[in-house]
Structure 1
């Protein structure tokens, strides 16, 4: 208390942390704490069917969220139902394409000048829409053959101009990085309409599992490449911030906050966030139903379609036998699929909070 917050970065606690790291084979030193600076970046903006989405800047996965929604905007999802096998197929395949591209276009912007704005453009999304086969799932062994080339869209070119002028496509050769399922999210809206979507993570459950002076050390370094790979944008580099899949989001309609959403869940975060957005906007679900609806995953590390119980056997059979997905069905509800905590602000000003049923979330409000 006497040293204040500086004790953590430059004072006696920093000295103790360095000593602990040396004793236990850790990498961090007091000099790392001294050099650390928090960076405040403007949220990125995208739209989906007339709603404004405000998402985090790289190295967080906000552009991926917008990119997937831009792809889905080309489909008439409201004409189907949430449990239609084509709905599941289209969203899951769009998520796979978004995850392939995330690995190519999202990293620390202080170290890499990547076209994340082109990645989240609606013109680029049209090329991803064209890559999805409505009658057949991607072969998981060839996921990275479908990496798109966002660079030509950085100058605002239309998809017609880019595709007509393209001579060859770009394919990626990158192995996946497994991410663990543990993070915390909360959503807040105050009486004046100020909104906060806050996702905090130490990566795995209990981070490194080393407890020290009242806190756990995170293991976010696992979000770097496990071994050096030439040209990889997430190679472990001094001073570089790791990429992460978290994506706290504020959604507005006509300039007013409509929903504040976010979820833990590692590699399942964007899948769950996209499904929430589609359920709320395309299928007009109330927040509690959107939370409860069974979830599924589109993620390049998973070669199967991981889905919660709750879909009809007909839907599951169609996904497997007609569309060619290899299914992996989880019990319902399962914390594997995250734990969104969500606030809805209705037209009359009523605020409705819905807590996660998968990770014991809850909603609360002060008495007035």
Structure 2
């Protein structure tokens, strides 16, 4: 069941300052009038729609997605105006009727009829039963900075675990972009991701030992497994008592309220399925395919079950200093998210970089760890490095036993709003955006 609309509604009910209509109607107008297509989104649209076309025999219904995203027989080119009046109509219904219009009203009726027609199972009763949960974030302290994340069924705990292990080592003394620093960070990721594969699931169905996995004592145990001069041959989860289509934004206002927000359809724009109103008019949005991240192995904490949420990768980031808000930040990109979040924190805390420098710095990404779907690790995996990593560091990492890969486009998408306390005068905001994506930093 799509959760985004109820998340919008719940956040607005608790923290919203403008009338609900005033928030959604300008977006509906943009959908109807259209906007110029940016470069990266144009590339993704063309690529993903081609993927759906190649797999069209496996998808129950294909016409609606083409009406929405390829109305002229192809996806929009860079600079062409792309409009989605179907989504505009849906947003106007939600603006008028609130979240109930989506979950227990006319839109829910359309969705039920659509799935009945194509042989699916989602019903209006399923939609009406959905509700947003307010949860207490998990926290760790990294060299004086409180880092917050969401617990399972997300991977927010992985960011904390990477930082907890890295805190056991003098990364600053090792040197920025040195082989030793990258080696220890990547090994911390490998350790954290084995726990992710073993434990992370819907907490209502499986008890994840969050307190233990998030503890400094456990991090110290895990850190002792890292060899300073050689990659670990194999990594196992501790004993305890991947690529998606994601949007992240960070927003702050003049009163000091800061919001870190992420939402996603997952792989390749989602499932390919776009519901309609029964009259040939699509609703303008695609259903997600995050059910792909369930495991199908008996006994696995993340095994598929009715009413259960799958493990998922989307994690907003937040950090405080001295008990005061510091950063609302995030890094899009499936399994890259905790790796990228940890690198941003390390770049700023250990190496003293400002928010933009921290994001522009060359990144590493490790792939090949065990997955919560039951997929086993692939040896030591592959450590992908961006071109800015020094050649000497790359050579030393290879000598340590790392299998290196070059830039693969999977280094994430970063955005950040930072609250800056000044020695004299009021606090101010700073902002940083991703040079690898169609990001932008705006002040008003």
TM-score band, normalised by shorter chain: 0.7 to 0.9
Q: CA deviation at 1:326?
A: 0.7
Distance in 2 (alpha carbons) for counterparts of 1:116 and 1:298: 23
CA offset digits 1:86-145 (Å, max 9, x no partner): 111100010011011012222111111120111000000011101111111123xx33xx
* Secondary structure, aligned partner of 1:47: strand
Q: What corresponds to 2:440 in structure 1?
A: 362
Distance in 1 (alpha carbons) for counterparts of 2:333 and 2:151: 19
Written as runs of structure 1 = structure 2, the 5 A alignment for 1:67-86 is 67-86=161-180
Q: CA RMSD in A?
A: 1.6
Task: Kindly indicate whether residue 327 of structure 2 is the aligned counterpart of residue 264 of structure 1.
Answer: no
Structure 2: runs of 5+ lacking an equivalent: 1-92, 276-282, 371-377
Tell me which of 93, 109, 113 is aligned to 2:203.
109
Q: Does the aligned pair in 2 maintain the 1:71–1:94 contact within 8 Å?
A: yes
Distance in 1 (alpha carbons) for counterparts of 2:245 and 2:192: 21
Distance in 2 (alpha carbons) for counterparts of 1:28 and 1:131: 46
Q: What corresponds to 1:323 in structure 2?
A: 400
Q: Does the aligned pair in 2 maintain the 1:63–1:117 contact within 8 Å?
A: no
Greater share of helix: 2
Q: CA deviation at 1:200?
A: 0.8
Whichever of the two has the greater Rg, that structure is 2
Distance in 1 (alpha carbons) for counterparts of 2:103 and 2:224: 50
Written as runs of structure 1 = structure 2, the 5 A alignment for 1:1-368 is 1=93, 3-139=97-233, 142-143=234-235, 146-151=236-241, 179-212=242-275, 213-225=283-295, 228-299=296-367, 300=369, 303-320=381-398, 322-330=399-407, 334=409, 336-348=410-422, 349-366=427-444
Distance in 2 (alpha carbons) for counterparts of 1:55 and 1:71: 16
Q: How many residues align?
A: 329
Q: Does the aligned pair in 1 maintain the 2:212–2:218 contact within 8 Å?
A: yes
Q: Does the aligned pair in 2 maintain the 1:296–1:308 contact within 8 Å?
A: yes
Q: CA deviation at 1:4?
A: 4.2
The two structures have a TM-score, normalised by structure 1, of 0.85
The two structures have a TM-score, normalised by structure 2, of 0.71
Distance in 2 (alpha carbons) for counterparts of 1:27 and 1:131: 47
Q: CA deviation at 1:10?
A: 2.2
CA offset digits 1:174-220 (Å, max 9, x no partner): xxxxx323211111222222211111111123211323302111111
Distance in 2 (alpha carbons) for counterparts of 1:121 and 1:27: 42
Q: CA deviation at 1:25?
A: 4.0
Q: CA deviation at 1:65?
A: 1.2
Q: CA deviation at 1:341?
A: 0.3
Distance in 2 (alpha carbons) for counterparts of 1:57 and 1:147: 17
